[in-house]
Structure 1
Amino acid sequence: MSPTGVLEPTGPNRALGGTRWLDHFLSTPVSAPVERPRALRDRDGYDRRPNPLHARTTAEFLLTMRRYVVWTGDWSYRELEYLCGGAVKSTTFQEVLEGDQLPRYVFLMAFVTACAGEDEAERQRWVTAWRRLRAS
């Protein structure tokens, strides 16, 4: 049996015989949303959420990003990649968050999606701070 007879991209694999479950599994589209734990809010008067609007320099902005990752769940770089739907790779998260350059807009959106989900208010806070730093 040749290797090409084992994995046929054009249809059900007849070479393995009795593997309908595998063919079904491989042909099933993956459309399930990313499951994320619900973020708990701090108690009233104890809000410790890092605010990107307080950052005045790129270094402060990156420090706020690192603190925000810890505040939202202390995610690993691989978990951040998963939570943003793979839009940014774990190595890129590591390079940017441990670097000294202001991130690009696409990275920022993936970062906020990974940490806060689809929270529009959080997106606005981060984009406003990012734009202010880009303009200066």
Structure 2
Amino acid sequence: MSTTAVLEPTGPNASLRAIGWLDRLLSTPVDTTVERIGLLRDLAGYEERPDPRDARSTEAFLLTMRRYLVWAGDWSYLELEYLCGGAVKAATFQEVLEGTELPKYVFLMAFVTACAGEDEGERRRWVDAWRGLRRSP
């Protein structure tokens, strides 16, 4: 088989063209431990969960994100990618959560979706705190 047969869309990989990344992600078997257990409000210690509004700096905000992740389910970066529907890759979760810069809005929404699901109250808490830090000098 020639190199061009492998690289051309008419070659052996032509069948991969019809399958998008989301289709591959959704068809990948996942361990059942990735699923959230009920509503976030039903978790033990809900009232004591890390509050992003207490963060006064980017470093404190990132620390709160890491603590929140542990509190909400302590998922791996790959599991976070799955829980946010593939909107953010596992490598990006690792880079941002282990980094020193304030995350972008899209990342923040993917993080909250992965940890809290569709809880609008949690999204508002995180966005309000994030906006406050962006406005501060």
Asked if Structure 1 and Structure 2 have the same fold, meaning a TM-score greater than 0.5 normalized by the shorter chain, the answer is yes
Larger Rg: 1
Which runs of 5 or more structure 1 residues have no equivalent in the other structure? 10-26
Which runs of 5 or more structure 2 residues have no equivalent in the other structure? 16-22, 28-33
Instruction: Give the drift of 1:7.
Output: 6.4
Return the alpha-carbon distance in structure 2 between the equivalents of residues 59 and 79 of structure 1: 24
Q: Report the residue type matching 2:43 in the other structure.
A: R
Q: Report the residue type matching 2:115 in the other structure.
A: C
* RMSD of aligned alpha carbons: 2.7
Which residue does 1:18 correspond to in 2? none
Instruction: Give the drift of 1:99.
Output: 0.3
Q: Report the residue type matching 2:89 in the other structure.
A: K
Instruction: Give the drift of 1:48.
Output: 2.4
Which residue does 1:69 correspond to in 2? 69
Q: Report the residue type matching 2:105 in the other structure.
A: Y
Instruction: Give the drift of 1:37.
Output: 2.5
For residues 91-132 of structure 1, what are the alpha-carbon distances to aligned partners after superposition, in whole Å with 9 as ceiling and x for unaligned? 000000000000000000000000000000000000000000
Which residue does 1:24 correspond to in 2? none
Which residue does 1:83 correspond to in 2? 83
Which residue does 2:133 correspond to in 1? 133
1:42 aligns with 2:44: yes
Give 4+ residue runs of structure 1 displaced > 6 Å after superposition: none
Instruction: Give the drift of 1:8.
Output: 5.7
Return the alpha-carbon distance in structure 2 between the equivalents of residues 111 and 95 of structure 1: 13
Q: Report the residue type matching 1:42 in the other structure.
A: A
Instruction: Give the drift of 1:6.
Output: 6.5
Instruction: Give the drift of 1:36.
Output: 2.9
1:107 aligns with 2:107: yes
Report the identity percentage: 68
Q: Which has the higher helix share?
A: 2
For residues 55-101 of structure 1, what are the alpha-carbon distances to aligned partners after superposition, in whole Å with 9 as ceiling and x for unaligned? 00000000000000000000100000000000000000000000000
